[in-house]
Amino acid sequence: MIITAIYIDILTSNSKVVQVLYDLEQIAKKQALPSIGPVKGKILTSIISKYKPKTIIEIGTLHGYSAILMANLLPENGKLTTIEKDTNLAKIARKNVEDAELSCKIEVINTDGLIGIPLLQKQKFDLIFLDAVKSDYLKYLNLAEKNNLLSDRAVVVADNVLLYRNEMQDYLQYVRDSGRYKSQSTETTLEFTKNVRDALEVSVRNN
């Protein structure tokens, strides 16, 4: 197994996580799946390290790559809730979470994000990762706001904001211009490509 750069910091803490992430990368490459991959994963790792969230909600699980990556970086009492509407993908993700020995930190909810977010009321999240239906990003965020799910300095991370910018213009205008967030894009490449440009939008909630 060749260890990519993103894994170096977590290798000594949980070798099971490393193996699962590596295996998921190989599957994503072969099947051309929209998993975030190691390049975006490294950016996501730096975001987690900078803002140090204790609770995370993810919309769009796929096979669990990003959920496992983020949850492994949470403190011992940290919690990540990930919502996946596809029943088969949710089942696969749960198995991968088990294999990574992170069931104590990760909960996989099998439902549509627009249905699942309101079910989490009474909880607070320090970070939201949006990686599901691109045209619904603003709906996801507005639901989280409406249900009072965001902590005071919550960070919202949205994937594919360059590649699918036409589908999320309302979202980008909101986080950049509403005054509720301090927002910036981090440009990178689309997972498992060398020259397809994409970006992550990182938006920090203003008090």
Secondary structure (3-state) at 49: helix
**Cα–Cα distance list, 88 to 58, 62, 110, 174 (Å):** 17, 9, 9, 33
Q: Are 68 and 96 in contact (CB under 8 A)?
A: yes
The predicted-structure confidence for 122-162, as pLDDT tens digits, reads as follows 899 999 999 999 999 999 999 999 999 999 999 999 999 99
Minimum mean pLDDT range among 15-24, 52-61, 102-111: 15-24
What radius of gyration do the chain's Cα atoms show? 16
The predicted-structure confidence for 43-97, as pLDDT tens digits, reads as follows 999 999 999 999 999 999 999 999 999 999 999 999 999 999 999 999 999 999 9
Q: Are 99 and 138 in contact (CB under 8 A)?
A: no
Q: Whole-number mean pLDDT of the chain?
A: 90
- Tokens linked to 38: 């190691």
| Continuous segment of H or E residues that includes residue 32 | none
DSSP state, residue 87: H
Residue-range domains of the chain with CATH: 5-205 (3.40.50.150)
pLDDT value for 162? 93
Residue range 158-181: mean pLDDT, rounded: 96
Locus of tokens 């940290």 = 78
**Cα–Cα distance list, 11 to 15, 23, 28 (Å):** 5, 15, 21
pLDDT value for 13? 62
Q: Is the pTM of this model over 0.85?
A: yes
pLDDT value for 26? 79
Q: Are 126 and 54 in contact (CB under 8 A)?
A: yes
DSSP state, residue 195: S
CA torsion angle 205 158 41 160 (round to 10): -150
Q: Are 107 and 134 in contact (CB under 8 A)?
A: no
